[in-house]
Structure 1
């Protein structure tokens, strides 16, 4: 990165199944396959298949979903997306998909747990989200040296380079919204800021 240093973690992370029962997820793919084989003979081949499918979902997901502004459902009525619906496994649950390939309960839990970050269960989450497994197992877990705040500092530095001016410690007291469109914000200090776009969160 131009703004902070990233280091790939090894192990990528540790999963605890209970007291003294842990699984360290290696960053190296060969070591990861060996770990799977230790728990379920023949599962390395299944893991390769699983991640190959997940790589396709990741590519389509990043290129066709993530970078669209989501202004309208019509954005997703694209023939490339529509023809990929079954390959993306939009109508199969993550739980069913994982269990069709693996039998070992620890491996199943390991592969299902990333969807919990979506606030959902594997039974109610489309298998499309195995793209999260591809991201963490194939692309790796990376840590910004100096801590997570380095990412914030990097974003601020880039924004300033692009001409953004920051006003710190300005508590907004009101947003002026004539005709249903926000035009300006006023702070408790009595300052008014005109804006083309107002994001209130």
Structure 2
């Protein structure tokens, strides 16, 4: 009996450490544990502290835009601003410009230091708040990505076919249902 209890305790204590090592996106939960990352506030962690003012301005601009378009955040998102690919890779990401992790946080790559990328990922954060992280996985791509591309005011007039199609379908749907009914109607999908 004592042996089973001891093994259980070891497993319970080891599980978070193993998850941290194996599933890198989990590092968003404690970004200051990642070498080179400094959390200057609860909302902003950064690899290069000399760029804090730039990150802070971008954060607040995106937060205000997204709040005005899709509603106020239940909890302001934590953003990790990476200045190098090594930093971005340490969270388990490679190709994207920025990545949202449910309602836990957003990691921005060196390529993602643009207002529209941050707004896009903040919209995904709001989606996770409104639909729930798990339910968001089962929403259609045109709704999730179309909303993010459209309402972020993405500077690119033409996206790749896949994303442009999602944005166009979302824009058509939003026009039909009206902006006031966005979340109510989106939950039905």
TM-score, normalisation: structure 1: 0.24
Higher relative contact order (Cα pairs below 8 Å, separated by 6+ residues): 1
| Larger proportion of helix | 2
| Larger proportion of strand | 1
Bigger Rg, which one: 1
TM-score, normalisation: structure 2: 0.25
